[in-house]
Structures are given as C-alpha cells and as structure tokens.
Amino acid sequence: MVQQSFEDKILGCVDRGMASLGESATKAILWHIEHNSRLKRKEIPTKPKEFIEALKEMLGPGGVCSRKTDREGSAFSIWNFK
C-alpha cells in the first residue's frame, strides 16, 4: 500500500469537497483561481489561506464549505459566512 503525502491528502479533500459541484464546475473554479489568483491546484496544500480567499472572491463569503466527520463516521458540512 502506497502512503499518500500530506499534500495529496489535502488535495483529495478539496476534490471530494468540490465533487458535489460536478466535474465541469470544479474545473472552471480551479481554472478561474489559477488564472485570476495565480494559485495552482498543486499549491493549495501549502497556501490554504490564499485558496480560501480566492474562493471567497469568486463565490462570495458564503461559498466556503468545510466537510467534517463525527465520531460515528457521518459526514456533515459547515458553511463559513464570514
């Protein structure tokens, strides 16, 4: 079994979080962020604040969602409206 790096785990979380938007929307958002905020997908794990700011700039303050898991393994979302 190959162990994932921390960066790969973070990118996996980003991918899962954006999966509900669909592949086309996800690609469009990442393209927009890369071209307007100069933040490449591979840089997201090392520049999380820049990624969140780019999402807020693009989607508004309600556009940032965190996915958490409780002790029983149930996933839920937390929206940040700051």
Residues contacting residue 61 through CB under 8 Å, at least 6 positions apart: 80, 81, 82
Residue 1 lies in a domain: no
| Residue position matching structure tokens 């393209």 | 31
What does pTM read for this prediction?
A: 0.70
Identify whether the C-beta of residue 66 lies closer than 8 Å to the C-beta of residue 82.
no
Give how many domains the chain has, as a whole number.
1
Q: What is the pLDDT of residues 15-68, one digit of tens each?
A: 888 887 889 988 999 999 999 999 999 999 999 889 888 988 887 766 666 555
- How many other CB atoms sit within 10 Å of the CB of residue 7? 13
Q: Where are the alpha helices (DSSP H) in 1-82?
A: 6-18, 23-36, 48-59
pLDDT tens across 16-29, in order?
A: 888 878 899 889 99
The DSSP code for 82 is -
Decide if 69 is inside a domain.
yes
Its domain, for residue 49, covers 6-80
pLDDT band at 6 (very low <50, low <70, confident <90, very high): confident
Q: What is the pLDDT of residue 81?
A: 40
